[in-house]
Chain A
Amino acid sequence: RKEVEQDPGPFNVPEGATVAFNCTYSNSASQSFFWYRQDCRKEPKLLMSVYSSGNEDGRFTAQLNRASQYISLLIRDSKLSDSATYLCVVNPGPSGGSYIPTFGRGTSLIVHP
């Protein structure tokens, strides 16, 4: 089983739709979780951290389910500008004193008019 798995998509949704992505991780000792956004031919940028209690930032809601070992990202009222690849990132816990994040393959979202 891969350490971090995401459905690559693409998810093709109309403007205004609500869309959700999941990301599963294999290491139950994982300590921190993030969603990054990567636009075409650009670098990844942090979208939001994922907290145990769940967190919301405007139209974006992130959830963590430790029992089932997945995180989710919900986007409400999709905009054309939300079209991008969404990368799930998991910090698996210390290895030799270092926390080395593991990236998922990314989920492609296309929002159309």
Chain B
Amino acid sequence: ETGVTQTPRHLVMGMTNKKSLKCEQHLGHNAMYWYKQSAKKPLELMFVYSLEERVENNSVPSRFSPECPNSSHLFLHLHTLQPEDSALYLCASSQDSSGGDNEQFFGPGTRLTVL
């Protein structure tokens, strides 16, 4: 297993469902990120975790709830989503978030559709 993996790769859910996205990194990194990418829009940073502590919460609605149980795993719990939340959700990791030379490695993303 290499790099950053995400499951599921595709998810269709109704507005009343609860689901979770999972990200796992095998790079020994200390920082992990959730991004949202909608069609024709730039990447939107959602959350940043450094050493399992949340260091950034970019005004994300409470229907998105992150969880970082350890430095290798990151979850995004979803509940009562809206159709406009349909997007590609990308997880990334980097060595840490306290250095300026901060190359990020991305997972393949979860393509989410909210009906």
Which residues of A come within 8 Å of B, CB atoms?
Answer: 31-32, 34, 41-46, 49, 87, 89, 91, 93-94, 96-106
> Which one of B37-45, B60-68, B76-84 contacts A?
B37-45
- The answer to whether the Cβ of B102 comes within 8 Å of any Cβ in the partner chain is yes
Q: How many A-B residue pairs have CB under 8 A?
A: 60
Given contacts A43-B90, A105-B42, contact A99 B103 (CB under 8 A): no
Question: What are the residues of chain A within 8 A of B101 when measuring CB–CB?
Answer: 32, 49, 91
Question: What are the residues of chain B within 8 A of A44 when measuring CB–CB?
Answer: 43, 90, 104, 106
B side interface size, CB within 8 A: 24
Q: Report yes or no: B48 in contact with A103, Cβ–Cβ below 8 A.
A: no
- Shortest C-beta distance, B40 to chain A (Å), equals 8
- Shortest C-beta distance, A48 to chain B (Å), equals 10
Q: Report yes or no: A32 in contact with B100, Cβ–Cβ below 8 A.
A: yes
Cα of A12 to Cα of B43 in the assembled complex, Å = 23
Cα of A104 to Cα of B114 in the assembled complex, Å = 26
Cα of A32 to Cα of B106 in the assembled complex, Å = 18
Which residues of B come within 8 Å of A, CB atoms?
Answer: 41-43, 45, 48, 50, 55-56, 88, 90, 97-109, 111
Question: What are the residues of chain A within 8 A of B48 when measuring CB–CB?
Answer: 98, 100
Q: Report yes or no: A103 in contact with B108, Cβ–Cβ below 8 A.
A: no
Question: What are the residues of chain A within 8 A of B103 when measuring CB–CB?
Answer: 34, 46, 49
Question: What are the residues of chain A within 8 A of B102 when measuring CB–CB?
Answer: 32, 91, 99, 101
Question: What are the residues of chain B within 8 A of A101 when measuring CB–CB?
Answer: 102, 104
Cα of A104 to Cα of B41 in the assembled complex, Å = 10
Given contacts A99-B97, A103-B43, contact A43 B108 (CB under 8 A): yes
Question: What are the residues of chain A within 8 A of B45 when measuring CB–CB?
Answer: 100, 102-103
